[in-house]
A and B are shown apart, each in its own frame.
Chain A
Amino acid sequence: MASAHTQALPRPVLRPRPAFSLRRWTEREGVFSWLMVIPPTLFLAALVGYPFIYGIWLSLENRPVAQAGTFVGLANFITDLHDPVFWQVAQNTFVYTFSATALKMAGGLALALVMNQDFKFKNLIRAVMLLPFIIPTVLSTIAWMWILDPSFSVINWFLIHWGIANPGPSWLGNPSIAMFSLIMVNTWRGLPFYAITLLAGLQTISPELYEAATIDGASTFARFRYITAPLLKPVIFIVTMFSVIFTFSDFQLVYVLTRGGPANATHLFATYAFDVAMSGGQFGLGASIALSMLPPLALLIAGMAWYMRGEKT
């Protein structure tokens, strides 16, 4: 340091200004960070932003397929508000989302707590647990189609052979049971996501906390209540948010199993919007139905975020 100082001082003006180096320029933090951010931003703008903005634009138009649109303002939304099926679809979507998310949360947490224990073949079982999440939804849903089929149903086989019911229930044909069946299938599919994410959260909790609590005489429940639950909360928040978004906008399950039947009992926003836009050729009206998902979702997420903040202070 000292030698550098003495050598450098006498001739500062003689040193040539370093030529512009692209490499050095890109390594500057201000530049580098922009370089990293711009491609994904462009990517998002093109593939998410543009369709999204275009979707909003469409929803304000009377836009039949293969025809130029005319701006109609909020007319499509007003039409939706007067459409009895729209309200049924809204109700279905909320019932579906809340029930499935609650079940996934409870089941996922239980599964994660079990998986967090030490037992034989732990890793193998953890991997197997992920299967429902890994299999393409359409494939696993077709399997469910057979499970819920009135005469091939394995569930009905047991019900009949154990003398519980004969004939077994019509899992997809009865309007009240059909929604229940779909919630079950969605829960089955989404459970591993919850479980594995919560398991990751559990493993970040320091064992020392549990040890200290145990020494202080805390019961198992108390340890869960005062250590696990509060520390897991941020993870639960994130995973619930994702799950709510995915469940709310679910399409594949319904499309494969019932296509919204019987009599709209299982129609969700996404499937109804698709029917109106594609089969009915009403792009504007379809877009307005799809877009109606946005305000409730935004409110839900804002509400959850607010709740989490409230907890911290």
Chain B
Amino acid sequence: MANIIRSASRRDVLKITALGGAGAMLGAQPGRAAGKTLGFMHESSFIQTYDDFFKKTLVPEYQKAAGVTVDYQLISVGSLQTRMATAAETGNGPDITLTFFNWPFLFDEKLVDVSDIAEQIGKANGGWWDSAKEAVIVNGKWKAIPFGNVGQIMNWRTDWFEEVGIKEFPDTWDAFLEAGTKLKKAGHPYGLELGHGFGDNHGWLYPLLWSFGAHEVEPDGKTIVIDSDETARAVDYCRKLFHDAILEDCLGWTDVSNNKAWMSEQISCTNNAESILWFAKKQFPDIGKVTQQSLNPQGPKGRFHILAPWSHAIYSFSPNIQASKDFLVWLNQPKQIEGWYASADSYYAPYMHAYDDAPLWHVEPRNLPYRDSLKTSHLPGWPAPIGRAQAEAVAKYVVVDMFAKACAGKSTKEVIADAKAQLQQIYKA
């Protein structure tokens, strides 16, 4: 049996290299006889203390508690999805993996149903946030244990807003536009990504769409409803915001761009995770002092945020499924999990209510809106069912490009028609 698996794996490794993006193969696994070693794949965190805490504290503690070594396999930022795909396709890799965004839905068949321990873990920690469930429950089964949300909210310069007479962050998109118009005239435009990054564009454009009462597809997963007056209003708003308040370059931005622009004091407001404040405090303390963070503005139909979950899933090919479950239960015990959360300040907003007012939130009160954003956070594509069609729509930047094209000069009618045509094709409607 082992031989069959191994030879199949080799063939499949060739297959995956054929896909072009997945050349980096997983190395040979250390012996996992009798569940002595568990492979745990994680993407390097922007917050170094977080990875250090796992390696230096949690690994030895679990070794002591259960006699099991956890091999914490760090991979470089941006390559987790290809590595996850390689492991899933070849049936060879770590036992447990970190997953982002909607990946539990994409890798559904290759992940173990962890509903049993999810309930248990939730109970031990005051219950799960609803948004956590939205991120990992696939067809009624928990396919991962939610860990934390790397939310996106508005980061803004208090000094420049004050310069134009604004003390509080604008509560509505209209007030946001008004403030931005003044700020751009004063030489401090907003820097909101409209390009092809992986997070900072979706981070504000989906919430913008939703808060105008629009969405792409109905919850039935078939009816395309992007062609609506609400969408048209959101697009018109975005075009005006772009011309009056946003730096022109944002159309070509990727996810590094706004951080660079922030630290070089080019922009007065952006939409990002709290790493921007964390980094500013460390490297540019003067900028850190005048960086404030607030919830996204609200529109006529409410206030929304993007859900950006980190969760932990067990591969179904793992020979150590029970040992992996045991480890995740242990990891999510309050003592361990709170320490791990705290090692990253509050970069990963806990998905469990026991930590709603935990000390980690008070280390940096400016991060509190990230916790509050969880109440109004959804995955891109919401309220349509999350899955392959939705993932394809995100990968093709249907919503982002609808807004970007309008900003670059196309008519509202045209850009919505384009988006509609794409969605019809993707959802086979």
Contact = CB atoms under 8 A, between A and B. Distances in A.
A55 B391 contact: no
Interface in B362-408: 388, 391-392, 394-397, 401, 404-405, 408
B391 A51 contact: no
A70 interface: no
A279 B394 contact: yes
A275 B393 CA distance: 11
B251 A262 contact: yes
A144 to B, nearest CB: 13
A58 B396 CA distance: 20
Contacts of B18: 50-52, 54-55, 58
A85 B249 CA distance: 22
A261 B252 contact: yes
Given A50-B18, A261-B195, A281 B252 contact: no
Interface string B254-268: 100000110010100
Contacts of A178: 252
Contact of A174 (B252, B421, B425): B252
Contacts of A285: 392
A172 B249 contact: yes
Give the one of A174, A262, A264, A279 with max B CB within 10 A.
A262
B107 A277 contact: no
Nearest to B106: A281
A287 B19 contact: yes
Contacts of B404: 261-263
B88 A65 contact: yes
A82 B425 contact: yes
Given A50-B14, A67-B109, A85-B396, A277 B20 contact: yes
Contact of B254 (A83, A170, A258, A274): A258
Q: At the interface, is chain B mostly helix, strand, loop or mixed?
A: helix
Interface residues of A, number: 52
Contact of A46 (B14, B85, B195, B421): B14
A279 B84 CA distance: 11
B196 A258 contact: yes
B14 A54 contact: yes
Interface in A234-252: none
Nearest to A68: B109
A278 B397 CA distance: 14
A150 interface: yes
Interface string A55-95: 10010000011110000000000010011110000000000
B15 interface: yes
B89 A151 contact: no
A46 B391 CA distance: 32
Nearest to A64: B388
A202 interface: no
Interface string B16-33: 011111100000000000
Most A CB contacts (10 A, CB to CB) among B249, B261, B394, B425 go to B249
B345 interface: no
B392 A259 contact: no
A173 B252 contact: yes
A267 B195 CA distance: 11
A258 B396 contact: no
Interface in B395-429: 395-397, 401, 404-405, 408, 418, 421-422, 425
Contacts of A263: 251, 401, 404-405, 408
Contacts of A175: 251, 408
Nearest to B417: A84
A192 to B, nearest CB: 26
B195 A54 contact: no
Given A82-B425, A261-B254, A262-B195, A282 B392 contact: yes
A264 B254 CA distance: 13
B360 interface: no
Contact of B17 (A51, A83, A84, A85): A51
Contacts of B135: none
Most chain A Cβ neighbours within 10 Å, of B18, B108, B253: B18
A196 interface: no
A46 B13 CA distance: 12
A260 B201 CA distance: 14
A190 interface: no
B395 A279 contact: yes
A261 B195 CA distance: 5
Given A85-B396, A290-B20, A66 B425 contact: no
B305 interface: no
Given A172-B252, A173-B253, A263-B251, A65 B85 contact: yes
B157 interface: no
A276 interface: yes
Nearest to B388: A64
Nearest to B107: A66
A149 B259 CA distance: 13
Contact of A150 (B247, B391, B422, B425): B247
Nearest to A272: B396
Contacts of B44: none
Given A280-B395, A281-B388, A150 B249 contact: yes
Contacts of A274: 20-21
A158 to B, nearest CB: 18
A263 B399 CA distance: 10
A171 B257 CA distance: 13
A9 B387 CA distance: 87
A267 B395 CA distance: 12
B248 interface: yes
A273 interface: yes
Interface centre among A51, A261, A265, A287 (most CB of B within 10 A): A261
Q: Which among B20, B107, B252 has the greatest number of chain A C-beta atoms within 10 A?
A: B252
B75 to A, nearest CB: 15
Contacts of A108: none
Given A66-B89, A175-B251, 8 more contacts: A66-B85, A85-B396, A259-B195, A259-B197, A265-B408, A277-B19, A278-B21, A281-B85
Q: Give 10 closest A-B pairs by Cβ, nearest first.
A: A280-B395, A51-B18, A261-B195, A172-B252, A262-B251, A261-B196, A173-B249, A279-B395, A259-B196, A173-B252
Interface of B: 14-15, 17-22, 81-82, 85, 88-89, 106-110, 194-198, 247-254, 260-261, 264, 266, 388, 391-392, 394-397, 401, 404-405, 408, 418, 421-422, 425
8 contacts: A66-B107, A83-B425, A174-B408, A261-B254, A263-B251, A281-B106, A282-B388, A282-B395
